[in-house]
Structure 1
Amino acid sequence: MKKALTLTVVANMTANYSEGLGNISSVQKVFKNKKVYSIRSRESLKNAIMVQSGLYDDLQTEVDGATQKLVTEKLTAANCKALEGGYMSTKGTTYIRKSSFYLTDAISTDNFVNETRFHNNLYLASTEAKQKGINLQEKSKESGLMPYQYEYDKSLKVYSFTMDLEMVGKDENFNAEATSAEKANRVIAIVEAIENLSLVVKGNLDNAEPVFVIGGLSPRKTHFFENVVRVQGEKLIISDDLLGKLEKGFNCGLLRGNEFLNEEEIVEKLKPQNMTAFFNDIKSEINNWYGV
């Protein structure tokens, strides 16, 4: 019996930022295979998906040492979709409910090459200097002039997503459960967020939609394609293991546009759907699974 939805995505997206040093911002990175790769962390991805899907529209918070999601006997994962991503409430009795879905870090397919961008707020500082009637060059600090720089990275990244369909809408802490229609709506909202994912990074809009995606409903609650989707030299590696896993009742989607140098090989061997058809089929399967 199929119990989970699993997807592995290749997307052209930016990395998110880690700690800054003064006015210098650096992207998050991971070290593997003796090289450094930029990443978008799983936490950043999850937050973006929760926001864009609308699941955080009914989010309520409280402070108990740290800010946390508000959970009560009347506000549970069954009737509050913001709690679908899991919670830990420590006010009074401690309640923990794990997330019904999981993500991996989105790791770049190419090792990191530093591209530093230099900026300043010269126009704003000039306006401030005029308002105060001072000379910008002589009193730059009083004008608020601030040069800054940051690492920039936008590259093909691979991440995996898996959702436990049996867990959606259930809150065992309070013996509460959402309707089948509500469960299906939550899963579809997340799927649509992945299909159309966009991110705002340093004030810029970043289109992070999939250029390749593979997966579907699965009996295994795991990132089924995580270890077989590889991109090298702008080519998707079509291995026997990838083909073997694909044949176990899964499909794939490709955004045509020569993002991959071996696009024709992908079409010939994997027979991908277009992105709209792939995600429409996923949403249809979700509705059928929940009987709505």
Structure 2
Amino acid sequence: MNKKALTITIVANMTSNYSESLGNIASVQKVFRNRKVYTIRSRESLKNAIMTQSGLYEDLKTEIDGAVQKKVTEESNASNCRALEGGYMNTSGTTYIRNSSFYVTDAISCESFVSQPRFHNNLYMATNYAKENGLNVQNHADQVGLMPYQYEYDKSLKIYSITIDLEMVGKDDNFQEEAEAEEKAERVCMLLNAVETLSLIVKGNMDNAEPVFAVGGLSERKTHYFENVVHVKEDRLELSEDLIIKKNQGFHAALLKGQTLENEKEIEETLKTMNMPEFFQTLKEEVREYYGV
């Protein structure tokens, strides 16, 4: 069978994103599994970050039809507009729907959640306003805008997968249009560049979410092939028999040597890992070979 998908499962040290706030209290998103609570960065948040950082959203056009949506026309569709590669539903006139050519899972923490609330206030700005307006911060807290707030904080090792349908990239069946092979390869490489150097803005802070471990490559199956075999427990990657077997079926593994994972030497020897730049460069070369460019 022909390999027609690119799949990668990644371990990264990243912060969670936030759910609804209650007053001045913000909580991180969580899921319940295996009778425990785990923090996550949602797949929607990850996908948006990847699309934005990759540059695929640079030609994004939006319009309002009840709700804001991506602009889609016969002249501007997924074959010639990179921003539509992540899928769309447009209801202006005729309803057009195109699924995304790539899929991302939630990034789920490797350890169960332990609450780490952080407490802050805007005392400096409130004091500045009070001085300018002849007010007292203690006596006129409401007038100077003094506001204490708190939020949960979580930065931990998380695991997520991304799978790209190489047959679907650059195609738009709604308009029977298709991008050139060079453009298809470029879009996939842009996604890989974003994943390799992923960074996130969380509560105004820069968060380095680059992979510390990655395994994957071109696959015959359009699925998250390594999703069920990559596990981290107590900062150690579990080198299960199934992970080793799957990796040895023509896939690659990479390790960022920074002592984030405590069993780095064992990982390197067992999975024959390469460094992270080499891993992503190898995938890009395989993608270009797939498209014949």
The aligned residue for residue 128 of structure 1 is 129
Partner of 2:115 in structure 1?
A: 114
Q: Name the residue aligned to 2:6.
A: 5
DSSP 3-state at the match of 2:143:
helix
Alignment of 1:35-50 (within 5 A): 35-50=36-51
**1:135 positional shift:** 1.2
Correspondence for 1:32: 33
Give the aligned length. 292
1:260 Cα deviation after fit:
1.2
- 1:285 matched to which residue of 2? 286
Question: Structure 1 residue 127: deviation in Å?
Answer: 1.1
What secondary structure does 1:264 align onto? helix
Aligned equivalents of 2:11 and 2:100: distance in 1?
23
Letter in 1 for 2:12: A
Between the aligned partners of 1:20 and 1:194, the Cα distance in structure 2 is 29
Q: Distance in 2 between matches of 1:219 and 1:31?
A: 32
Q: Does 1:253 align with 2:254?
A: yes
Percentage of pairs with the same residue = 65
Matches for 1:49-68 after TM superposition, within 5 Å: 49-68=50-69
Match of 1:192 in 2: 193
Q: Which runs of 5+ in 2 are unaligned?
A: none
What is the deviation of 1:134?
Answer: 1.2
The TM-score, its normalising length taken from structure 2, stands at: 0.99
Q: Provide the secondary structure at the position in 1 that maps to 2:39.
A: strand
Secondary structure in 1 aligned to 2:142?
helix
Match in the other structure for 2:266 = 265
Shift of 1:81: 0.3
1:115-264 equivalences under 5 Å are 115-264=116-265
Amino acid at match of 2:134: G
Cα distance, 1:131 vs structure 2: 1.7
Q: Which amino acid aligns with 1:175?
A: Q
Which whole-Å CA distance do the structure 2 matches of 1:129 and 1:73 have between them? 57
3-state DSSP class of the match of 2:56? coil
Instruction: Name the CA distance, whole Å, in 2 between partners of 1:179 and 1:139.
Output: 65
Structure 1 residue runs of 4 or more that deviate by more than 6 Å after TM superposition: none
In the superposition, the TM-score normalised over structure 1's length comes to 0.99
Structure 2 residue matching 1:206: 3-state secondary structure: strand
Q: Report the CA distance between 1:65 and its aligned residue.
A: 1.1
Supply the distance in 1 between the matched residues of 2:95 and 2:133 (Cα, whole angstroms).
54
The offset of 1:267, in angstroms, is 1.1
Unpaired stretches in structure 1, ≥5 consecutive residues: none
Q: Distance in 2 between matches of 1:30 and 1:47?
A: 20
1:4-32 deviations in whole A, cap 9, x for unaligned?
00000000000000000000000000000
> What is the CA-CA distance between 1:73 and the residue it aligns to?
0.8
Matched with 2:75 is: 74
CA distance in 1: counterparts of 2:55 and 2:265, whole angstroms: 37
Aligned alpha-carbon RMSD (Å): 0.6
* CA offset digits 1:15-65 (Å, max 9, x no partner): 000000000000000000110000000000000000000000010101111
Give 3-state SS (helix, strand or coil) of 1:143's partner.
coil
Q: Secondary structure at the match of 2:175?
A: coil
